[in-house]
Chain A
Amino acid sequence: MTLPLTLSVAAILFALGVFGALTRRNAIGVLMSIELMANAVNINLVAFAHYTNGVAGQTFALFAMALTVVEVAVALAIVVLLYRTRRDIQIDLASEMQR
């Protein structure tokens, strides 16, 4: 695998994540799509670090993982809250406020 090839994989993964985040109607589905985007970020960072012999990218990837975990922990708590108040986690149902 060369650097451009690895970056392409990451780019495709990121695009898939964006597509999923915009089209999914289930809150967990959207969160999984966001995870895909976050994984694309990490592949990118690690690939750059590997092919340019830098450690900064690896460090950045570790921080990026920690940030994603923090975000997902809060996100799942809010989805549970959504389920408790509505008995459903379809996000198009969660639009009672006026546009």
Chain B
Amino acid sequence: MTPEMVWVGLQPLSADLVLTAGLLSVLTADVLMPPGAKRVLGWGALATLITAFVALIVLEPTGWSFGRSYHGDAFATFVKAVFYIGGALAVLAGLESSESRWPRRQGEYHLLILASTLGMSLLAGAKDVITLVVAFELMGVPLYVLAAWSRDDRRGTEGALKLLLSGGVSTAAILYGLGTLSGLASSTQLELMANHATMMPTPFAAIAAAIALAGVGFKLGVVPFHFWVPDTYEGSPSPAVVFLAVGPKIAGLVALVQVLLAGDDGLRLASWAPLVALATLSMLAGNLLALNQSNAKRLLAFSGVAHVGLMLLALAMGTQDAIASLLFYTVAYLFTNAGVFLVVHALGGDGSIASFDGLARRNAGLGMMMLVFLLSLGGIPFAVGFWAKLYLFLVAWGEGLGWFVVLAALVSVLGLFYYLRIARAMFMNPPADPTPVKVDTSTAIAIAVCVFGVVGVGLYPGPLVAAAEVAARAIVP
């Protein structure tokens, strides 16, 4: 093997290699470094993610790696960019707060974020079932540790336990389902597995596929597998929620794309009915359950369930346009949801809606930014959330899912009601504690990036739509 041949084989993984190198450096430095100097580790993690992002844009990783187990293409590049931004936002959120709250453990925090981001990144191009499940676990296991981060907090431990037990059942279910499909096809390639399952449809294969779908449903937190979502968000430390709420959800959808859209479309057509049912249930139940929450973290958790439902519908349709709308939606979801949880983090406190009282008077800038995110979540025109919903609804209408669009539009009005409850607390209610809210610099930068994303893409959605269409063409020919 000449060096050129090695490079051709590794080029599709170049961004992931940057991430791996950064991860190992942070790990080694964390062990060797004296406790006082650990702040550098966060900067190291941030630099790693930025370098990986630049490598992704400059090198445009394309082609097959390791036989036919990994494929770099426009789709992988698009979702990797989303994952890296999500990881960088979480690192920024923890950069200064971890220095003051858990100075000795801050290296581990950034390490876990990097490891989980690496798992998502590998998932983006996995075409082999072993690669897929290993990447999925690399994403999932660090999340358990992050959720249990507040060691002395009873609620934190409880949330972590719920994430862990549902995650464990989910992993076993995914392994059973995909393992069976792979055994029936005598192959570990997702494409061959999907084609075999559609050409020889047996009840056993159908049950295995259903079990795997339920497993991914747990990870995505779609109704009826959503019970852990609000508890885990409420109990986890707020910088970690910025990460938990965004990346893993999008990664779960990407895993479904890899499995269902591999091969000749048969597996997707077969799973049409259950996917639409899960999407409708999540959209309805997420919005209805969010109505009655008194804690902003829980409210936003249920709203996230509803948004994942909408994205699942785009996946169920599975056409080139639908996948493009799904990809556009993931960007909207990234900036908007990371944004709201960053504000919750910046505010501190227990995350109850009452803690938002008078925020506009305590820190006008923070209040305005939260309003921007809430309007984007509610789908108000000229925020990115509006275009994401419009795009998805137009595609769904064209696919003959008019009833879903009408239902979703009605429920979105309901959504506005509970998003504006937070806005009302911020702007109308008098503050319980009139001291100004101070936001640390790195969190402020992260919030500014999110506002830029929400407003910038909201005003000029064209380039992102074009990029999403190119990416969708790579996965749906």
Query: B-contacting residues of A (Cβ < 8 Å)?
Result: 7, 14, 17-18, 21, 27, 30-31, 34, 37-38, 40-41, 44-45, 47-49, 52, 54, 56-57, 59-60, 63-64, 67-68, 70-71, 74-75, 77-79, 81-82, 85-86, 91, 94-98
Contacts and interface: CB of A to CB of B under 8 A. Distances in A.
Given A52-B186, A96-B155, A45 B160 contact: no
B179 A71 contact: no
Given A17-B172, A94-B161, A63 B134 contact: yes
Nearest to A53: B186
Contact of B154 (A21, A41, A64, A96): A96
> In terms of DSSP, what is the predominant structure of the interface of chain B?
helix
B453 interface: no
Contact of A97 (B144, B172, B179, B235): B235
A71 B137 contact: yes
Contact of B173 (A37, A48, A98): A37
B241 interface: no
B148 interface: yes
B20 interface: no
Question: Which of the four size classes fits the interface of chain B?
Answer: 35 or more
A64 B179 contact: yes
Given A71-B137, A71-B141, A86-B154, A27 B161 contact: yes
A79 B235 CA distance: 16
A67 B176 CA distance: 13
Contacts of A45: 179, 182-183
Contacts of B171: 38, 67-68, 71
B186 A94 contact: no
Contact of A74 (B141, B155, B175): B141
Contacts of B141: 70-71, 74
Contact of A41 (B130, B153, B179, B234): B179
B130 A59 contact: yes
